[in-house]
Chain A
Amino acid sequence: MSEEIILDIKDLKTSFELDDFEVKAVDGVSFKLPKGKTIGIVGESGSGKSITALSILRLLEKPGRIKGGEINFKGEDLTKMSDKRIRDIRGNEISMIFQEPMTSLNPVYTVGQQIRETLKVHQGLGKESGTKKGVELLKLVGIPSPEQRINQYPHELSGGMRQRVMIAMALACNPDLLIADEPTTALDVTIQAQILELINDLQKDLGMSVLMITHDMGVVAETCDYVAVMYGGKVVEYQDVKSLFKNPKHPYTVGLLNSIPRHDIDVEELEPIKGNVPNASEMPKGCRFAPRCPFATDLCVEELPTLDEQSDGGEVRCWIYTDRWNGDPEVKVNAKERTT
């Protein structure tokens, strides 16, 4: 990839350390985000996708801690910088929006107070100029009658409106990177469509890069340029979005795609992945997916494969694509052909 890389995560490890054991929520995650593009981090509960996002801005709650790796943002390693420097970056160069718009805004301050706060910290704007900018931002994110809304409290707004306020707040300082952690999961579909369109438009207009955390393959397909599929704290596959859906390589990605009930086409029988999502405290020692994988061999159970670059540019963490594969040499890992 010849593009400028804005975010380069290398072997990130984040753990929750309890008295006598350690939960490795993120266990060696690496991916790159080219400038101006959107990367989707997709996975099910416990895959470590949200913890990855929180690690970037170092917003982990105790006892969570980054144990290793690098998070390079515009040439600086976020994991190693001072608390003051990371605070300067938060909400300024990197902003974040969250899943629950209903609870992500402080209930005791008005929308305006909360937006002004960001503007004051990073740009030193006073009350008057802050309010002016705040109104502009609310207008930008499509909130009707922003002059009135800016004086309202969060509980006076609907979920969709609150998420717009969150976005306005995130955009206040023209960030280079927007981290969106399941931004539409708590919203109704018609509102989700509004918000996704808004994020897409703003990205185009402002040239932001976006890191989109989601569990919804539909959202990934519609918004992302690149996708990292996470399972059990590791990236198992990384591809550009078209290749991922057309030619998924990892058996987990394939299983995920085969599990989705589609609203646009008829699917006779869903092909679920057997078994359950593993618990982060009792990960299998070999490939994390081996216990649920239809192709797993003893090699998969014993040894963890590495995330390797493939001839077509994608990356996959699976023994099938290596010289050491000892299962069926003719094995084909393909998603079911589904077209309208």
Chain B
Amino acid sequence: MQKKELLKVNNLKQYFPIKGGFLGRTVNNVKAVDDVSFEIYEGETLSVVGESGCGKSTTGRAILRLDEPTEGAIEFDGTDLLSLSKSEMRKKRKDLQVIFQDPYASLNPRQTVGKILIEAMEIQNVVPRKQRRQRAIEILETVGLNGGQIDRYPHEFSGGQRQRIGIARALSVDPKLIICDEAVSALDVSVQAQVLNLLKKLQKELNLTFFFIAHDLGVVRHISDRIIVMYLGKVVEIADKKSLFDNPQHPYTKALLSAIPVPDPEIKKERIILTGDVPSPIDPPAGCRFHTRCPFATELCKTDVPELRNLDHMQEGHSAACHHMEKIMAGELQPV
């Protein structure tokens, strides 16, 4: 089956200027996202993982045009999003919804849940006016809340329930793509599992596409079809879920995977402990950005920026940006 590209991001750059000096000149840039390209297929969940400062949330914001990207192209369902005017973009947001980490901060505390959902439908003018309340009740039930709670206020719900309201609001305009920005990170494990299951169920039923931004690789493994690993504004590896977890290629991905504690004391795995911290995105290291922490780094890594490459031993659609994948694979290069 031919997969349809729903969103295509090309060479996206998002620099945030740092003002300084006397007259507030731009003295430098935070290179939050630096030349990132990928596509999202209809009906799939594509996740971005990485540690703080890797640019994953910035990428999400750029797609929604919450920040204006510095460079690059974002094509959504055949339209170039960056060429749209403000009002055209507002209309496009009907198809592009977002769920944030803290739903409470994004829900108006003075509006009832029903009002919140109806307002969302009103802005995008979906669903005839008279049916909106009925539709709101249906959506609440879809996300596992009681339709009878429609006239309650956000503070009357628990964290997990509020995240369901956030999901309901996103669903109310019948979107094509939902960007989930750390949508389950703040929830307790037992409730997080409920919300993850709900998202999976909704995807199946409504043929939704998710762009899932997260730092928890367990969550990502559970929900994704494909995964992007980012480090300091760059994509270091992109692969379908199975390839990424079974056959990670980039040293950073490997370190990231090995760093996560496994909830099973019987498993004693070998751990790659990275030294040092993530460098500042203001003056990222030249060459491969990971070279300052990489156990395999050579002189080449300090000067040349590695491209994303797909090699013979990797599945189709799996590529990683490392100069030395082959040598590491063959055991010719040993960690220092």
Contacts and interface: CB of A to CB of B under 8 A. Distances in A.
* Direct chain A–B contact by Cβ atoms under 8 Å: yes
B192 interface: yes
Given A263-B260, A270-B222, A276 B160 contact: yes
B256 interface: yes
B334 to A, nearest CB: 20
A210 to B, nearest CB: 15
Contacts of B161: 276
Interface stretch (A123-131, A169-177, A254-262): A254-262
Contacts of B222: 261-262, 267, 270
Interface residues of B, number: 45
Contacts of B275: 194
Interface string A179-204: 00000000011111110110000000
Contacts, number: 143
Interface stretch (B33-41, B61-69, B174-182, B193-201): B193-201
Contacts of A245: 263-266
A47 B223 CA distance: 28
B218 interface: yes
A196 B189 CA distance: 21
A258 B192 CA distance: 12
A338 B263 CA distance: 11
Nearest to A272: B193
B206 interface: no
A220 B263 CA distance: 7
Interface residues of A, number: 51
Interface stretch (A6-14, A24-32, A49-57, A211-219): A211-219
Report which residue of B222, B262, B263 has the largest number of chain A beta carbons within 10 angstroms of its beta carbon. Answer: B263
A158 B245 CA distance: 29
B51 interface: yes
Interface of B: 51-52, 158-161, 188-194, 196-197, 215-223, 245, 255-267, 269, 271, 273-275, 277-278
Rank and list the top 6 A-B pairs by shortest CB-CB distance, nearest first: A218-B261, A272-B193, A188-B51, A259-B193, A261-B222, A217-B263
Given A242-B265, A245-B266, A273-B193, 9 more contacts: A188-B215, A188-B278, A192-B261, A193-B258, A193-B260, A215-B188, A219-B261, A245-B265, A276-B191
Interface of A: 44-45, 158, 160-161, 188-194, 196-197, 215-223, 241-242, 245-246, 255-264, 266-267, 269-274, 276-277, 279, 292, 338, 340
25 contacts: A44-B189, A45-B159, A45-B188, A158-B277, A188-B278, A189-B217, A189-B260, A190-B256, A191-B51, A194-B273, A217-B263, A256-B190, A260-B189, A260-B263, A262-B263, A263-B217, A263-B262, A264-B269, A266-B221, A270-B196, A270-B222, A273-B190, A273-B191, A273-B194, A276-B161
